[in-house]
Every structure is written in structure tokens, then in C-alpha cells.
Amino acid sequence: MGTLARIALFAVGLAIVLRVGYSAIATFAVPTGRTDWLTRVVLRVFRPLLRGVAHDRLRGLFAPLILLVLPVVWLSLVLVGYMAMFRAVENETLRSGFVTSGSSLFTLGFTGPADLPSVALAFTEAAVGLGLVALLISFLPTIYGAYARREAGVALLCVRAGSPPDAVALLRSTRGRSGRGLAPVWARFEEWFADVAESHTSTGVLVWFHSPDPSRSWLLAARAVLEGAAFIEAAVDGGQETDAGACVDAGADCLTRLVAFHRIHREAAPVIGLPPRFDELWTRLSEQDVPLVSDREAAAARFAELRGSFEPDLLALGALVGTTQVLS
């Protein structure tokens, strides 16, 4: 192999290794605000498996599977990249480069490099391999910590809104006029939405972490809170004085960021005249003597407007993670 060919082969191998390093850092260590293309390719390859699985418990294995597959893909590409570099440095066969690269990557030591440049390459490959595994292990507590915070919010909501959480049950639990008894819920979930938006765009695989109980899906919880807050804001006399509107804004922003992060299609907001949900919520709160606004049609239109700000994104995320049937 000529000198120029060896230089080109070494450059290609180095580019592969550097690209894998960037992918690993962007996926776990640095909140880039977007999915790395290499990680996105892995997700797209395995996503059809999710759509073909009907059982919720099997769907719940998708996210842990991705966490196992990503290091395998990264290590395989590092193996190929260093194989090319060993081939260029040692000027031997691809088989020899493969053996040396594999021995160095997995620190097996059953074969030794021939010269000092190859020894240096072996040291760096061993460090890269250990670094990739250490990176995943070190960020697992962060990933599961964000998951635990999300699920804790859902569990607290289910105390008021039932299981599965529902806006009607949530509003029936209100105490006091104008729904002010739910003010702590709106404030808590305003923070919850902000936390979900930040953590789930820093580590995109979190959206596929299902709740232990399928009836307590975090998307169902988001819908219950947002529908309830939208109704308080639109139809309850004095509801604008609560934090319900801010909660809807925080939730809509969270869902929009997640849809943009995963680059999924956002359906156009449907024209919602007088939704059946509005009728049900109106009836339930009327029975509890909660003061409602006098203009029911205007309230319905405002509720439809608020619901249109979050529901298309909610349905799009449901389709992404395989829970469309519980959101439709």
C-alpha cells in the first residue's frame, strides 16, 4: 500500500473514531438540544420493532434496549476505525488490523502491536473503549433520576385525578371557588413540565421510558393536567387569576420542544367546535357550584384554542412512543 493510501486510510479511521466520540458526548454528556444523527439512525432502525409490539410491558423494554445497543454500535465503529488506522500504520493485512484493534479495544492483550506508533494507538483505543462504557455507566443515575422525578409527579397527580389520570376527576377534586384549590397542582406541574422539557431533550431516550403501570402514562398525566388547566382558564369565573394559564403555556412549550427535538411531524391543530370534553367538564363543575362564566360559547372557543396549542403535539408524541390508543 502506497504512502498516500495509508495516510488516507488513517484519516478515515481517525474521522470515524472522532465522530463516535462526538456522538457519545452529545447523547449523554452535553445537552445539545437536538438528537445526534448517529443516535437518530439507531432509533430509526429499532423504532419499527416498537410499532410491531402490542404488549405494554414489551414496549417498556425499548428504552433499556436502546441504552444497550448504542454502546455496541459505538464500540463496533471504534473497532472499525482503529482497524483502519492499524492497517495504515503497520501496513499489514486487514485481518491483522482487526485482531490488533479488537485486542486493544477490549483490553484482551492476546496480541501486541509491532512498533511504537502502533503501541500508542493501542493505548488510545483502550482508553476510548473504557471511556465509552464509563460514560454510559456514569450517566445512568442521571437518566434514571430524571425518570424518577417524572414518575413521582405522575404518582402525586393520580392521588387527585385517579388512575388513569383524567381532567374530570382532577377538577372534581377542587376545593374552593374558582378552582383555587388546584393552584398548587398548576404550580407544581408548571415546574414538572419545565423539568421534563429540559431532561428529555438532554437525554432523548427518556421519552421511551414507560411508566411501571401503563394506566399511569406520563402523557396521560400531561393531558389531564393541561385539559383541566385549560378549562379553569377558559370557563371558570376568576380562573384567570390562578396559575392555570401559565401551566398550559409551560405544558405546550414542553411538548413543542420534544416534538422538535425528535423531528416528528406535528399535525395541524384541528378545528374543535364544542368538544364533548368541554360539555363533560362544564357539567361536572356546575354540579359542584363552581362559578362559571356567563358566555358558554366564548368559553368553549377559548378552551378549544388552548387545547389546540398542546393536543396535536401530545398525539404526535403518543404515536412516537406507542401510546396513541390511550390518547385518542
Domain of residue 30, residue span: 3-137
Residue 230 belongs to a domain: yes
Confidence of residue 82 (pLDDT cuts 50, 70, 90): very high
Closest CA to 219 of 307, 147, 314, 145: 314
Task: Please check whether residues 45 and 173 belong to one and the same domain.
Answer: no
Looking at the structure of the chain, the number of domains it has is 2
Q: 130 and 91, same structural domain?
A: yes
Three cell numbers written together for 23: 456522538
Same domain (yes/no): 66, 172: no
Statement: the pTM of the whole predicted model exceeds 0.75? yes
Let me know whether 125 and 174 are in one domain: no
| Average pLDDT, rounded, for the chain | 84
For 129-175, what is each residue's pLDDT tens digit? 999 988 888 888 988 999 999 999 999 999 989 888 988 888 887 65
> Do residues 80 and 86 lie in contact, with contact meaning Cβ atoms separated by under 8 Å?
no
Judged against a pLDDT cut of 80, whether residue 111 lies above it is answered with: no
In a domain, 80, yes or no: yes
Listed in sequence order, the DSSP H helices in 203-274 are 218-235, 244-261
Q: In this structure, is the dihedral angle defined by the CA atoms of residues 311, 312, 317 and 320, taken in order, positive or negative? A: positive
Boundary-marking domain end, from 72, 102, 137: 137
Closest CA to 171 of 106, 253, 242, 117: 242
Distance CA 299, CA 58 (A): 42
My answer on whether 214 and 289 are in the same domain is yes
Judgement on whether residues 183 and 89 belong to the same structural domain of the protein: no
Residue length of the chain: 328
pLDDT in tens, 27-61: 877 765 566 788 888 877 877 766 655 555 666 67
Residue 204: the pLDDT is 82
